Amino acid sequence: MLKFALRRLGYMIVTLFIVATATFFLMKLMPGTPYNDEKLSAEQKVIVNEKYGLNDPAGVQYVNYLKKVATGDFGVSFQYDNRAVTDIIFPRLGPSAEIGFYALVFGVIVGILLGVIAAVRQNTWVDYLSTIFSVLAISIPSFVLAVLLQYYFTVKYQFFPVAGWEGFKYAVLPALALSAGVIATIARYIRSEMIEVLGSDYITLAKAKGNTTSRVLFGHALRNALIPIITLIGPMTVGILTGALTIETIFGIPGLGDQFVRSIQTNDYPVIMALTLFLCLLFIIVLFVVDVLYGIIDPRIRVQGGKD
């Protein structure tokens, strides 16, 4: 198990290096500069570029950037009065994490319930309705759903605040918008897995032993159907993080997504690169945890991983 975990850790480091390199050079290809203020003269822009080392060759800037990143120094923001990038990012982590947590938990719970009901009521109107909901939830972009929720539940009926961040009620609609895709994905997978599991011999044996329907469903069938869902946690988490880029802007939430959009609009390179690396780090940590958990559940994964 230790060898398996160390191998995955090595993959994480290589992935971060590749993402850092790609992000750095992509920033160099972006049109414009961080200093689009018309009040700055050409001489002043040259002085500022010299101050931040932007006049150095790209190779020199790249090496200096990697050295700083390796020590946890992501530089300073060009648009926020030379504030450290970490001082900008960390205060915004809380709202993004809270919304993402609500969306993931709610989506998984509702998705499992819908999937189980659809499997038990296979080929009935309940099953068809669940399938239609899943298709719509996957097809409709989260930002479109967010606008619809905002209009009906805030503007028209005033059940929730329109925008801002002052407590749990401000997180309800953004979390609902982000959870739609999670619900649909989990429901589809649970339905297919449950249908297969319910036709297994050990389920027939469990019924023959006189177990109640609820025990057969939740104690035997669902327990085995949940194993493949573990592999979906990583992609779903990333989907929530990327979806939050627009959701936070729509609802005026001071999270990582909102800051990412603002930084792109102003070409704030240090903040863009730091946020990209941070989101990538979260992603690969989730995948690492999923790999380890899956290796614990299924020892064959550890054996295959050790042979790679």
CATH number, domain with residue 124? 1.10.3720.10
> Do 52 and 146 fall within a single domain?
no
What crossing angle do the helices spanning 85-120 and 233-250 adopt, rounded to 10°?
120
- Which pLDDT value is given to residue 9? 79
Domain boundary among 70, 102, 127: 70
> Do 187 and 249 fall within a single domain?
yes
DSSP codes, 167-215:
SGGGTHHHHHHHHHHHHHHHHHHHHHHHHHHHTSHHHHHHHHTT--HHI
- Which pLDDT value is given to residue 32? 65
Domain contains 55: yes
> Do 111 and 243 fall within a single domain?
yes
Q: Supply the range of the domain harboring residue 204.
A: 93-254
- Which pLDDT value is given to residue 189? 84
Domain contains 126: yes
Please give the Cα distance from 308 to 304 (Å, whole number). Answer: 7
> Do 97 and 66 fall within a single domain?
no
- Which pLDDT value is given to residue 4? 67
The answer to which of 13-27, 170-184, 251-265, 286-300 has the lowest mean pLDDT is: 286-300
pLDDT digits (tens, 9 = 90+) for 131-176: 888 888 888 888 888 888 888 888 888 888 888 888 788 888 888 8
What residue type is 111 in one-letter code? G
Q: Is the pLDDT of residue 201 over 80?
A: no
Query: Taking a C-beta distance cutoff of 8 angstroms, is the pair 41, 287 a contact?
Result: no
What residue type is 211 in one-letter code? N
pLDDT (mean) for 216-235: 71
pLDDT (mean) for 81-105: 84
Query: Taking a C-beta distance cutoff of 8 angstroms, is the pair 131, 187 a contact?
Result: no
SS3 24: helix
CB atoms within 10 A of CB 129: 14
Please give the Cα distance from 59 to 152 (Å, whole number). Answer: 52
Tokens coding 1: 């198990």
Q: What is the mean pLDDT of the chain?
A: 78
Tokens coding 139: 């097809």
Q: Is the pLDDT of residue 38 over 60?
A: no
Name the DSSP letter for residue 155: I
Query: Taking a C-beta distance cutoff of 8 angstroms, is the pair 181, 243 a contact?
Result: yes
- Which pLDDT value is given to residue 44? 63
Q: Is the pLDDT of residue 291 over 80?
A: no
> Do 53 and 99 fall within a single domain?
no
Domain contains 264: no
- Which pLDDT value is given to residue 39? 57
Q: Is the pLDDT of residue 63 over 70?
A: yes
Domain contains 200: yes
Q: Residue 212 is inside which H or E element, if any?
A: none
> Do 223 and 112 fall within a single domain?
yes
Tell me the pLDDT band of 40, cut-offs 50, 70 and 90.
low
Q: Is the pLDDT of residue 272 over 60?
A: yes
Domain contains 128: yes
SS3 76: strand
Total domain count, the chain: 2
Largest pairwise CA distance in the chain: 86
Q: Which residue has the tokens 């005026």?
A: 252
> Do 63 and 131 fall within a single domain?
no
Query: Taking a C-beta distance cutoff of 8 angstroms, is the pair 190, 111 a contact?
Result: yes
Identify the residue with better confidence: 201 or 251: 251
pLDDT (mean) for 231-260: 78
- Which pLDDT value is given to residue 187? 86
Domain boundary among 254, 277, 293: 254
Identify the residue with better confidence: 48 or 71: 71
Domain contains 243: yes
Q: Is the pLDDT of residue 41 over 80?
A: no
Domain contains 53: yes
- Which pLDDT value is given to residue 243? 67
Tokens coding 75: 């530089």
User: How far are the Cα atoms of 12, 15, 176, 240, 305 from residue 308, in angstroms, in the given order?
Assistant: 15, 17, 40, 31, 5
Tell me the pLDDT band of 117, cut-offs 50, 70 and 90.
confident
> Do 122 and 242 fall within a single domain?
yes
Q: Is the pLDDT of residue 52 over 70?
A: no
Backbone angles phi, psi at 98, to 5 degrees: -65, -45
Q: Which residue has the tokens 């060759």?
A: 57
SS3 55: coil
pLDDT (mean) for 91-110: 86
> Do 232 and 175 fall within a single domain?
yes
pLDDT (mean) for 52-79: 80
- Which pLDDT value is given to residue 91? 83
> Do 119 and 233 fall within a single domain?
yes
Domain boundary among 70, 103, 125: 70
Q: Which residues, including other chains, have CB under 8 Å from residue 125's CB and lie 6 or more apart?
A: none
> Do 123 and 236 fall within a single domain?
yes
> Do 108 and 235 fall within a single domain?
yes
Query: Taking a C-beta distance cutoff of 8 angstroms, is the pair 96, 90 a contact?
Result: no
Q: Residue 6 is inside which H or E element, if any?
A: helix 2-29
Q: Is the pLDDT of residue 81 over 60?
A: yes
Domain contains 25: yes
Please give the Cα distance from 87 to 92 (Å, whole number). Answer: 9
- Which pLDDT value is given to residue 3? 75
Q: Is the pLDDT of residue 42 over 80?
A: no
